[in-house]
Amino acid sequence: MRSIRLPLKKGVGVLNIAHRGARAFAPENTLVAFEKAKCLGSQMFEIDVRLSKDGALVVHHDETLSRCTDVQTKFPRRDSYDVWDFTVDELMQLDAGSWYIKQLMLPSLQRQAFLQTLTEEEAREFVTIQARDVFASGNIKIPTLKQTLEFAVAADMMVNIELKPQPGKQEDLVAEVVKLVEWMRMEHKILISSFDHHLLRELRQLNKTIAIGVLTSQSIMNLNEYLESLDADAYHPAGYSDGDVKGLQKLKLNEFAVTLEAGWPVNVWTCNNKEDIRQLVTCGVSGVISDFPNRVKEVIDEFIS
């Protein structure tokens, strides 16, 4: 039997992993999105981690700050709006919540893709009037990784840390993340993934106990051997579905089945369509990474009842 590190050991059921927090119901990659993930039944949330100009670990998906903050208003006339061109103090001045409310007020088809399938019922039920006020207040900030992990401890949640590209500073990123996770003694609660598999190799050199997820949007030849060679704990392939794709391809499901058969946990991203989630759970995946943890929970509950 393959030995898999915590938090992916077998027997915990299908992990409901909230993508960037419960991204459909709160501004992504912020503490309120992680809180929402907890409320919606996720045991784990996924986040994207980068370094600021002065070397702080911060949680933000895009390379630039423009989509999810008011950076251009607060810092007009800057040459670059990339995260790594801002100090952590500057990042903390940004409003990382109002953009989400502006999106919510648009007609569905004009919103960003992940929000286009949000139903009126879901919006009413899961984004209350009070929550909308908080998100639009200007007080929602980009969290540091430390604040995020402190939240996870308090909420008793696991975290999937995705390492994002950091030109020229890749090694610092890995080393700093490992240092923080070890210092907080959270090794057993953390799963680290990245599209950059060199980073995962580096991580394994530094730490033997943190679980690794091999993130990819492509097919990998000799997958089982490849996962083995990285001393990985899970495969994180792209599924489909933002509502505009007709379902998981049979080919993909077969690939997942073979990987699962070989004893590897498989956590698929980013699945928002309930029929796709049903197929994945039937296929036996270990986790589903979704913008809509409520839908994942509903599907998992169907299998339990």
Give the interface with ligand G3P as residue ranges (CB under 6 A): 19, 46, 48, 61, 162, 193, 215, 236, 269-270, 289
Identity of the residue, 37 or 136, whose beta carbon is nearer to Mg ion in the bound complex:
37
CB of residue 149 to Mg ion, shortest distance in Å? 16
For the record, the structure tokens of 81 come out as: 């709006």
Identity of the residue, 135 or 269, whose beta carbon is nearer to ligand G3P in the bound complex:
269
Identity of the residue, 61 or 141, whose beta carbon is nearer to ligand G3P in the bound complex:
61
Indicate the residue whose CB is closest to ligand G3P.
269
For the record, the structure tokens of 104 come out as: 């919510």
CB of residue 79 to Mg ion, shortest distance in Å? 27
Identity of the residue, 164 or 295, whose beta carbon is nearer to Mg ion in the bound complex:
164
Residue 159 binds what, of ligand G3P, Mg ion, none (CB under 5 to 8 Å, by partner type)? none
Of 190, 93, 179, 197, give the one whose Cα is nearest residue 148.
Answer: 190
Of 160, 239, 227, 163, give the one whose Cα is nearest residue 194.
Answer: 163
How many residues does this entry show for the chain?
Answer: 305
Residue 289 binds what, of Mg ion, ligand G3P, none (CB under 5 to 8 Å, by partner type)? ligand G3P
| Distant-in-sequence, close-in-space partners of 208: CB < 8 Å, separation ≥ 6 | 231
Residue 57 binds what, of ligand G3P, Mg ion, none (CB under 5 to 8 Å, by partner type)? none
Residue 193 binds what, of ligand G3P, Mg ion, none (CB under 5 to 8 Å, by partner type)? ligand G3P
Residue 28 binds what, of ligand G3P, Mg ion, none (CB under 5 to 8 Å, by partner type)? none
CB of residue 171 to ligand G3P, shortest distance in Å? 21
Provide the binding-site residues for Mg ion, judged by CB under 5 A. 48, 162
What residues are paired with 47 via a beta bridge? 161
